[in-house]
Amino acid sequence: MAQGKARAILHVDMDAFFVSVELLSRPELVGQQVIVGFPGERSVVLSASYECRALGVKSAMPMAVAMRMAPRAVVIKPTHSLYSEYSARIMEIFHQVTPLVEQVSVDEAFLDVTGSIRRLGPPEAIGQMIRVRLRTELGLPASVGLAASKFVAKVASTGAKPDGMLVIRPDQTLSYLHSLPVGVLWGVGAKTAVVLREMGISTVAQLAQTPQETLSRRLGATGVHLHNLAWGLDDRPVESEREEKSIGAEETFAVDLWDEAVLHREILHLGHRVAARLRQAEKVAGVVALKLRYSDFSTLSRSRTLPVPSNAAGDLVAAAEGLLEKLGTRPQAVRLVGIRAEKLGNAGGGMQLSIDPRDDNWRQAEATMDLVRSRFPAGALRPASLLDHGQKEQKPERPS
């Protein structure tokens, strides 16, 4: 990679974000074992305090397992509207520092502060200033990694946790990376880790010294990617606008489900949730995917390309229903069902109008439903066939 002026990239990652936000109104729980999530065997940990993490509790861990590890933990149900509010305030602080902010989740972002140095001082001072502002203005702790690339900045912020800052200067990059286990490299998942272990590679230094051709023979393009990262080669820019690649929703049932009517009703419910999120993002879907997880945790996914990209619930539900019908008789009870909209495009930029006036009527009806929902509480309006479905707890699709 050509050596020009070194970039200054920050990766800011909020510490136990959901827990930290909840503790703002529950200060008596500071320093105690706290888990954010829905109580129950089928739920997962969304966030855990560092007191719980010291006992082995991790995000995405089944709640039942977490409670065995930390039986004294206080479980708090998530307040998603509050997390969104604080996330927006966090990103506002970032944007006051630099316009080059790439938000990667509700509680973390990359910032390119190279252009802010003349105005705000050295990048180390900028990183510390951000941490101080987050703590004093919002009451929230954050960890910051500073490096010349996104990858190394991300690794550094992980090494800075909790509530710290780690600076990796350009001339320190290789010595720092080569001191770490190979699992820190982006792209080393469970399968890749097995292959590397078979090759006798357990550290970044060992991977860096392995010929790229050897890695490529065993791992294909992933081998080349990992070799570049092991040598600190990552020139990806901070992208201030990230395009969402897919939008989805899923539901885990309290009891494994055999009832086909309930399964179809849940698909209708999820279809409307995904369609509403598409319209909010001003996107249309070109592909609809259906996900089923059975009682033995085996999971399958099937997808179908829509004749015309759409954000209408009827189109999404029809595609998902078709995929479900094509699967035939269920071999086991269903534990989870999900719908995901993929191959997203901009609404209005290629969505064809139907010659059937009923289609436009449905689109107008769903747009009206969106407007009503924006002014009244969730659940105030939904399809008639879901009226006996009851009010659902809004669970996030991914832990954070």
Whether residue 192 sits in one domain with residue 116: no
For residue 230, the model assigns a pLDDT of 96
Whether residue 305 sits in one domain with residue 200: no
Q: Annotated catalytic, 251?
A: no
Helical ranges in 134-189 per DSSP H? 150-160, 173-177
CA distance 113 to 118: 10
- The answer to whether the CB of 20 falls within 8 A of the CB of 36 is no
Whether residue 265 sits in one domain with residue 193: no
- The answer to whether the CB of 45 falls within 8 A of the CB of 15 is no
Whether residue 282 sits in one domain with residue 154: no
CA distance 262 to 298: 20
DSSP state letter for 328: -
Whether residue 377 sits in one domain with residue 251: yes
User: What single letter denotes the amino acid at residue 316?
Assistant: L
Whether residue 338 sits in one domain with residue 206: no
- CATH at 33: 3.30.70.270
315 is in an annotated binding site: no
What is the block-wise mean pLDDT of the chain (400 residues), using blocks of 10 residues?
71 97 97 91 87 94 93 94 92 95 92 95 97 97 97 96 96 96 89 93 96 93 93 91 78 83 93 90 92 85 93 94 91 90 78 43 54 49 50 41
CA distance 240 to 152: 19
- CATH at 294: 3.30.1490.100
The 10s digit of each residue's pLDDT in 46-101 is 999 999 999 999 988 999 999 999 999 999 999 988 998 999 999 999 999 999 99
For residue 352, the model assigns a pLDDT of 43
Whether residue 269 sits in one domain with residue 214: no
CA distance 268 to 391: 15
Asked whether residue 399 is domain-assigned, the answer is: no
Last residue of a domain, one of 136, 168, 200: 168
- CATH at 219: 1.10.150.20
Q: Which domain holds residue 380?
A: 246-386
Asked whether residue 391 is domain-assigned, the answer is: no
Asked whether residue 398 is domain-assigned, the answer is: no
Whether residue 210 sits in one domain with residue 254: no
Whether residue 291 sits in one domain with residue 163: no
For residue 243, the model assigns a pLDDT of 62
Last residue of a domain, one of 140, 168, 196: 168
Helical ranges in the chain per DSSP H? 17-23, 50-53, 63-69, 80-97, 117-120, 123-133, 150-160, 173-177, 190-198, 204-208, 212-219, 221-230, 260-280, 313-327, 357-375
Asked whether residue 2 is domain-assigned, the answer is: no
Domain total of the chain: 3
Asked whether residue 358 is domain-assigned, the answer is: yes
Whether residue 297 sits in one domain with residue 152: no
Asked whether residue 90 is domain-assigned, the answer is: yes
15 is in an annotated binding site: no
Last residue of a domain, one of 125, 140, 168: 168
Whether residue 287 sits in one domain with residue 381: yes
What distances in angstroms separate CA 250 from CA 274, 341, 352, one per listed residue?
A: 10, 12, 28
Asked whether residue 392 is domain-assigned, the answer is: no
3-state secondary structure of 355: coil
CA distance 215 to 202: 14
For residue 318, which of 304, 332, 329, 331 has the smallest C-alpha distance? 304
Asked whether residue 152 is domain-assigned, the answer is: yes
3-state secondary structure of 7: coil
The 10s digit of each residue's pLDDT in 345-361 is 887 654 444 434 444 45
Whether residue 303 sits in one domain with residue 182: no
Point out the catalytic residue in the list 108, 250, 266, 366: 108
